């Protein structure tokens, strides 16, 4: 039997990084775990070998054609994590998976806040709005129609950690409707807890900035074009701000890059600071103060009760600043606009940061299922695998 995940994209390391405990558990208990990446079937930008995860018992399968993927799916008994979207370009993959005796589970258990309307409609132009209707709404209608016609198979289970999203989905499943649901069942699961909670030692040696990527593709896709001058200005504002904090707090500044960020560019523009990739949680663990625009990694800092400042920059555009508010509003983080000449006084700032962090736990429990009221995704998947094996 094969246990794996089907996905598309070149960021295998990021995928592993976000769910490393789950993947490590599955590859060790069941001897092998497959990453089935369909990126190379239709995309001209082929998968780079350097982006793969090299871990014992992790197998990478990167089919070059539909027929190669279909042969693989037909010839194996498969338990599949399927978090592919329902857009038209993914329909063929849902169809192929549905033709075979494959158990499918989807899940959303990382800490995040989002809004389809704000991210895909409010802050985009006419062309992007039309693309949203086509890729999100019309494609979903077609997908559900194909489920009714039994051309595409329902995904067996959807697991959700965010309470309001689970409540919304649960209410629709109670309603009688002509449409067959995309999922057979939905379940509440515990949000993914940061693995660093296992560590006993927590230091306050650094100030860590969690990068969102000034040239991130999500920003560009929303129609916000960032030219070279804007990039230069952004780094100039950020550099001045970070140096100011370094002088006030007398702590070393660490920059943890987004996986998609250009390391050489950041190294050139911010050469006074240490810069790392894939070490975000390590440096959050050992920091006194965390700075960020928009990142799910901020929840590691929240669970460790770190002081947090939400950074605003108009250069980043309306889309990212809207996403930034998804996090800063519920937690009422202290906000600094890096494009302003701020007068920061440590004696005033520190008490405010400490007051804010005292409310972290209450806000998390209000918004997410935790281990106290729901099972973690690892336990849910393991239980379903055992049922699937016994069939």
Residue 224 has pLDDT above 90, yes or no: no
- Rounded CA-CA distance 245/144 in Å is 52
- Cβ 304 vs Cβ 284: under 8 Å: yes
Measured from the Cβ of residue 328, the count of other Cβ atoms closer than 10 Å reads 22
Closest to 381 (Cα-Cα) out of 51, 109, 77:
109
Handedness of CA 360, 364, 367, 373 (dihedral sign): negative
Mean pLDDT, rounded, for 276-299: 90
Q: By three-state DSSP, how is residue 30 classified?
A: coil
Does position 6 have pLDDT exceeding 90, yes or no? yes
Which residues lie below 8 Å from residue 193, measured CB to CB, with a gap of 6+? Answer: 303, 370, 371, 376
The whole-chain average pLDDT of the chain stands at 86
Q: Could you tell me which residue, 56 or 259, shows the higher pLDDT?
A: 56
- The CATH topology of domain 196-367 is Rossmann fold (3.40.50)
Give the Cα separation of 148 and 133 in Å (integer).
21
Find the DSSP H helices in the chain: 12-18, 20-29, 39-42, 66-74, 88-98, 116-117, 126-132, 139-148, 163-174, 217-221, 228-249, 263-269, 280-285, 298-303, 317-331, 346-357, 360-367, 377-390
Residue with tokens 């600071």: 273
pLDDT of residue 194: 64
More confident residue, 48 or 178: 48
* 2-191+370-390 and 196-367 agree in CATH topology: yes
For range 322-328, the mean pLDDT: 84
Q: Per-residue pLDDT for 46 more than 80?
A: no
Class for the domain spanning 2-191+370-390 = alpha beta
pLDDT surpassing 60 at residue 213: yes
Beta sheet of 252-257, edge-to-edge order: 274-277, 252-257, 206-210, 287-292, 307-312, 334-337
The DSSP call for residue 101 is: S
User: Residue 241's pLDDT is what?
Assistant: 95
Residue 118 has pLDDT above 70, yes or no: no
Q: For the whole model, what pTM was predicted? A: 0.76
Q: Which residues pair with 207 in a beta bridge?
A: 253, 289
Sheet with strand 58-61: strands edge to edge: 58-61, 33-37, 2-7, 78-82, 102-108, 155-160, 183-188
The string over 157-195, giving b where at least 16 C-beta atoms fall within 10 Å of a residue's C-beta and e elsewhere, is bbbbbbbebbeebeeeeeeeeeeebbbeebbbbbbbbbe
Give the residue among 191, 323, 204, 196 at the shortest CA–CA distance from 254.
Answer: 204
Domain ranges of the chain: 2-191+370-390, 196-367
The pLDDT value given to residue 317? 83
């Amino acid at each position: 039997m094969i246990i794996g995940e089907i996905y598309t994209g070149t960021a295998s390391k990021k995928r592993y990084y976000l769910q490393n405990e789950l993947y490590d558990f599955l590859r060790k208990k069941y001897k092998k775990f497959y990453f089935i990446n369909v990126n190379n079937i239709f995309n001209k930008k082929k998968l780079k070998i350097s982006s793969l995860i090299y871990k014992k018992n992790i197998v990478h399968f990167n089919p070059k054609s539909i027929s190669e993927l279909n042969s693989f799916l037909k010839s194996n008994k498969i338990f599949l994590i399927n978090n592919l979207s329902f857009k038209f370009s993914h329909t063929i993959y849902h169809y192929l998976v549905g033709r075979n005796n494959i158990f499918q589970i989807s899940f959303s258990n990382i800490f995040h806040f989002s809004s389809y309307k704000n991210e895909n409609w409010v802050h985009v132009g006419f062309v992007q709005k039309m693309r949203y209707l086509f890729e999100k709404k019309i494609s979903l209608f077609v997908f559900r129609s194909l489920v009714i016609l039994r051309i595409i198979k329902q995904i067996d289970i959807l697991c959700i950690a965010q309470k309001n999203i689970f409540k919304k989905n649960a209410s629709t499943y109670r309603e009688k409707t002509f449409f067959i649901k995309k999922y057979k069942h939905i379940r509440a699961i515990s949000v993914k807890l940061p693995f660093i909670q296992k560590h006993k030692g927590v230091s306050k040696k650094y100030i860590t900035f969690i990068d969102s990527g000034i040239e991130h593709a999500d920003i560009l896709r929303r129609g916000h074009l960032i030219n070279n001058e804007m990039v230069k200005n952004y780094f100039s504002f950020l550099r001045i701000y970070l140096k100011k904090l370094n002088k006030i707090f007398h702590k070393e500044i660490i920059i943890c890059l987004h996986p998609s960020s250009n390391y050489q560019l950041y190294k050139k523009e911010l050469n006074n600071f240490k810069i790392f990739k894939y070490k975000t949680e390590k440096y959050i663990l050992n920091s006194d103060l965390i700075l960020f625009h928009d990142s799910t990694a901020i929840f590691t800092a929240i669970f460790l009760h770190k002081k947090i400042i939400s950074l605003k920059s108009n250069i980043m555009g309306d889309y990212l600043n809207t996403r930034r508010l998804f996090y800063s509003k519920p937690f009422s983080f202290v906000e600094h606009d890096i494009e302003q000449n701020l007068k920061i006084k440590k004696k005033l700032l520190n008490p405010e940061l400490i007051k804010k962090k005292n409310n972290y736990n209450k806000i998390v429990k209000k918004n997410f299922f935790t281990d106290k009221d729901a099972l973690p995704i690892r336990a849910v998947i393991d239980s379903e695998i055992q049922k699937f094996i016994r069939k």
